[in-house]
Amino acid sequence: MNSKIKMPLIPGEYAGLQPGEARCPGPSVQDIIVSDALPAPEVLRSTNYEFIGDSDIPYQRYTSPAFFQQELDSLWPKVWQWACRLEHIPQVGDYYVYELGSYSFLIVNTPKGIKAYYNSCLHRGTKLRSEEGMGCAQELRCPYHGWTWTLEGEISRVPCAWDFPHVNPEQYRLPQVRVETWGGFVFINMDESAKPLQDYLEVMPEHFRNWDLEQRFIELHMAKVLPCNWKTALEAFLESYHVLETHPQLLQGTGDANVQYDLYGDHVTRFYAVGGVSSPHLEQQLSEQELVNSMLVGDRTVINDELTVQPGETARIVMARYLRKILGDKYQVDLGQVSDAEMIDTIEYHLFPNMVLFPGVSLPMVYRFRPLGTDVERCLFEILFLRPLAEGQERPDAPEVAMVAEEESYDVVPGMDPYLAHVYDQDTANLRAQQQGFKASKKQGETLGNYQEARIRHFHRTLDRYLAGAGRGEG
Amino acid sequence: MSQFHHVLDCADLPAGKSLAVDIAGLSVLVCNVNNEYFAVENRCTHQGAELEGGRIRNGMIACPLHGVLFDVRTGCGKGPLGRVPLRTFAVQVADGRIKVSQESAAVPA
């Protein structure tokens, strides 16, 4: 334990504070970033937390086939969910097959804009396209009997049309789902009466107004099968409380227990973890120079020697200045106005239900968590790295997804930093044991930390609103 | 000793494009993937459609008929409709001239 900061190990009455009021002893994120050279933007200098309860979250939500079916019936058909990015469908004719559970959609770049169709032939149901991911076509033709639709979804060919007098072409347009875009992401919603995406995103467009994710390109896209419910996997990334025990190598350089957690509306939460500081858990706090040396867990290919902390500087200032230059050169963009915080800190947003975004510059990931088919206890975890696209630079082709098998390490993915891969391996190594532990437990549910694990509780609260049929369209 | 035919000049084939050429009676599709050149049989193994003009991304060509994807570097197809790989042909490039072998490469076991 850190001899300077007193941290009790057994919970008990905590100095007369209300539930949810207690915080990690030691400096807060806001205390730390105040001494940065290029100050953090307004959006990072605000906090937004409220205590929303402390009762346990039942395990059956992660293990029950009935609960999983409820999600398929009442959650997934009612939410805006991102299917692909614009760069997956840049030309007319390009399409992306997006699937979740038994649902399958064709997101198509048509001469009349982006449309999304249920991926099922209106003759006898065959999927028009059976492989997930990118493709291209000038028309949508079923490989079984050749029924064909234009890209805009109008029926153009029924072989032996004489046999189908009962087929009225007007009623045989390909059924569509709602499509809207934000930040370079293409979102769909199966609910025809859903409120617009902009409303669903709540505070995110405002928070992201200086983080233009459309002006990014996918440098890497990988997917790994995980042996747990999609929510089990998601929740591993909604809190930093586990850094102490799961990623102890990160304590030298990350403020873990003093991470800031913010809750907004129904659909958006955030954590903000500062880098370039010692964990409050560490007995021996690192010097500024030691902190700089320990911070190189991200892109190790960009190392050189400009990493000496001058008098009056902090590790944060040095690291930010260094990365501005290195990443600016690598991606041919001017990062001169980007704050220290945006350069080096871990800023992570969750958009309900299954999207995680990191708008910072040096750790620029996007995550997605989807159930695998209709398996309650397996899911697909995707990681994308979005890098800055220089003005006027030709956009590279969006990469194919690099698949990682359940037993493989993330480091099999070309271009994945091995230290980062190790962090992900550490995260997912816990998940099988947790998922199985749900069923082995006598206790009925999870106990959550009031502050550090509040985003998990907030997520379940919103999930319940959707399952009750009340989560959308109102007010 | 395989016979190579000069079929195209590099200038004829911009990046991302494909052109069909006749080699000893066989239609062979020459593809430019980021200025590397590959050659495959110009015939989708699914239903025999011509692949020429199919969109090429990440080294994979999409058959214009049903969208079956094939990696033009290896001939391997994606999904059940792409179960049978395309025949591939060796390519030599020198002095801006593209030469393609008359014989298809051996298919790996």
Q: Half-sphere exposure of residue A425, counting CA atoms within 13 Å on the CB side? A: 16
Q: Is A205 part of a structural domain of the chain?
A: no
pLDDT of residue A305: 60
Residue in B46, B58, B81 nearest the CB of A400: B58
Q: Is A341 part of a structural domain of the chain?
A: yes
Q: Kind and range of the H or E element at A385?
A: strand A375-388
How does residue A281 score in pLDDT terms, banded at 50, 70 and 90? confident
Q: Are residues A165 and A45 in the same domain?
A: no
Segment among A206-220, A276-290, A392-406, A443-457 with least mean pLDDT: A276-290
How does residue A306 score in pLDDT terms, banded at 50, 70 and 90? confident
Q: Is A331 part of a structural domain of the chain?
A: yes
Average pLDDT, chain A: 92
Backbone angles phi, psi at A394, to 5 degrees: -70, 130
Q: Are residues A340 and A240 in the same domain?
A: yes
pLDDT tens-digit map of A424-459? 999 999 999 999 999 999 999 999 999 999 999 999
User: DSSP 3-state assignment of A428?
Assistant: helix
pLDDT of residue A1: 44
* Closest CA–CA distance from residue B58 to any residue of chain A (Å): 7
Residue from B55, B8, B64 nearest B33 by CA:
B55
Q: Is A166 part of a structural domain of the chain?
A: yes
Q: Are residues A266 and A398 in the same domain?
A: yes
Residue from A14, A49, A3 nearest A30 by CA:
A49
Structure tokens at A148: 């064909």
Instruction: Classify residue A35 as left (phi > 0), alpha (psi -120 to 50) or beta.
Output: alpha
Q: Which residues of B touch A400 (CB under 8 A)?
A: 58, 60
Best probe of the A interface among B33, B66, B71, B74, by most A CBs < 10 A, is B66
CATH number of the domain bearing residue A122: 2.102.10.10
Rounded average pLDDT over A322-337: 93
Segment among A245-259, A323-337, A360-374, A408-422 with least mean pLDDT: A245-259
* Closest CA–CA distance from residue B69 to any residue of chain A (Å): 8
- Domains of chain B are 4-104 (2.102.10.10)
**What is the reported pTM?**
0.93
Q: What is the DSSP letter of A46?
A: -
3-class SS string, A53-92? CCCCEECHHHHCHHHHHHHHHHCHHHCCEEEEEHHHCCCC
The total of other beta-carbon atoms located within 10 Å of residue A408's CB is 13
* Closest CA–CA distance from residue B104 to any residue of chain A (Å): 27
- Measured CA to CA, the distance from residue A138 to residue B54 in angstroms comes to 10
User: Is A136's CB within 8 Å of B67's CB?
Assistant: yes
Residue at which a domain ends, from A138, A172, A199: A199
Best probe of the A interface among B44, B55, B70, by most A CBs < 10 A, is B55
Domain around A97: 81-199
Q: How many contacts (CB atoms, under 8 Å) link A and B?
A: 36
* Closest CA–CA distance from residue A183 to any residue of chain B (Å): 23
pLDDT of residue A473: 44
Q: Are residues A319 and A442 in the same domain?
A: yes
Rounded average pLDDT over A216-237: 97
Distance between start and end Cα atoms, chain A: 49
* Closest CA–CA distance from residue B17 to any residue of chain A (Å): 14
Reported ipTM = 0.91
- Measured CA to CA, the distance from residue A361 to residue A38 in angstroms comes to 14
User: Is A130's CB within 8 Å of B81's CB?
Assistant: yes
Q: Which residues of B touch A218 (CB under 8 A)?
A: none
| Ranges of chain B whose pLDDT falls below 70 | 1, 106-109
Q: What is the DSSP letter of A315?
A: H
User: Is B79's CB within 8 Å of A134's CB?
Assistant: no
Contact A154, A169 (CB under 8 A): yes
Q: Are residues A372 and A437 in the same domain?
A: yes
Residue in B57, B65, B80 nearest the CB of A397: B57
Q: Are residues A49 and A117 in the same domain?
A: no
- Measured CA to CA, the distance from residue A141 to residue A139 in angstroms comes to 6
Rounded average pLDDT over A45-71: 97
Edge-first strand listing for the sheet containing B56-57: B56-57, B60-62, B69-71
How does residue A310 score in pLDDT terms, banded at 50, 70 and 90? confident
pLDDT of residue A474: 42
